[in-house]
Amino acid sequence: MKKPLTSSILLWVRTDQPRQTGMDHWKGPHSGITSATPGLEEYRQIHLAEHNPGRWPATDGVQTAIPAERKIDGVAEVTFRSALAPLKGRKQTKLACADEINVFRRTLLYAGPPNSSRWYDVEGPGQTVGTRALISLRRRDGVGAGAFRKFVNDQLAPALAGTGVLKELRTQTFCPGRKSSGTPRTSPTTTPTTSTSTPRSA
Q: Cα separations (Å) of 193 from 13, 112, 148, 157, 173?
A: 11, 21, 29, 33, 23
Task: Please count the residues of the chain.
Answer: 202
* Average pLDDT for the chain: 84
Confidence of residue 200 (pLDDT cuts 50, 70, 90): very low
Give the model's pLDDT for residue 183. Answer: 35
186: pLDDT strictly greater than 60: no
Give CA–CA dist 117/149, Å, rounded: 10
* Strand residue runs (E) in the chain: 5-13, 40-47, 74-80, 104-110, 117-120, 169-172, 185-186, 192-193
CA separation, residue 11 to residues 83, 182, 201 (Å): 24, 19, 18
C-alpha of 53 from chain center: 19
Q: What is the mean pLDDT of residues 96-120?
A: 92
Residue pLDDT, tens place only, 50-89: 887 767 788 888 778 778 888 899 999 999 999 899 898 9
pLDDT in tens, 143-180: 998 999 999 999 999 999 999 889 999 999 988 766 54
Residue 19 has pLDDT above 90, yes or no: yes
Instruction: Give every CB contact of residue 35 below 8 A, 6+ residues apart in sequence.
Output: 43
Instruction: Say how far apart CA 107 and CA 11 lie, in whole Å.
Output: 5
Question: In terms of Cα–Cα distance, which of 5, 178, 140, 138 is closest to 80?
Answer: 5
Q: What is the pLDDT of residue 178?
A: 60
